[in-house]
Amino acid sequence: MTRTSLSPSVRRRAVEPSLAALTVTLAVVWVTEPGSVFDGGIVATIVAPVFVPATLLAPGLLAMSVLDRVVRHGVRLASAYVGSDDRTQRSDTSRRRIGASLVLGVLAGYTLWWVIASVYVLTVADAGGVLLAPLVALVAGSVLGVLLLCRTVLRWLGLGADRVHAQSDAG
């Protein structure tokens, strides 16, 4: 049995769009069909025990992955300005990349904050029946997911920032 090892960036490029699509799908299901998930029917009996934890797990993992990438970009950016160029990549200092990291980092932090608050409200706090916090976390995560899916589609179409810089350096 041969096991192929993938680099972390390749795994992240495969996992992040999957988590983004799952988060957006869960948000659409919660907003459009809450009756089938939370009412007392047969579908609710099967889906309800898994649905709320999934609505917290998917955006939480997505936000942590994005925050990890943003922090690593910040470290590479800081090392580029300090003078240690051994960690930098070609597009680290571009304004578009810095702006995208700031926007995605703030949105991922906001999402992760709501996920943690939702877990607190559902498990520790004695609020009883509060399901609004996971919905806010899911909506914030779905906005993050839509942005990541758009970025992935642009990268697949060849319009991403990495390929633009590679083409401009080659010519």
Per-residue pLDDT tens digits of the chain, which is 171 residues long: 556 666 666 666 788 899 999 999 989 888 887 766 667 666 667 777 788 888 899 999 999 999 999 998 888 888 777 776 666 666 776 788 888 899 999 999 999 999 998 888 888 876 665 667 888 899 999 999 999 999 889 888 887 555 444 444 444
HSE at residue 136, side-chain half, CA atoms within 13 A, is: 14
Which tokens is 64 given? 């942590």
Q: What is the pLDDT of residue 6?
A: 62
- Count Cβ atoms within 10 A of the Cβ of residue 45 and give its class: 0-12 exposed, 13-18 middle, 19 or more buried: exposed
CA end-to-end distance (rounded Å), the chain = 43
From CA 21, how far away is CA 16, in angstroms rounded? Answer: 9
- Can you give the pLDDT at residue 61? 95
> Residue-wise over 25-38: b if at least 16 C-beta within 10 A, else e?
ebbebbeeeeeebe
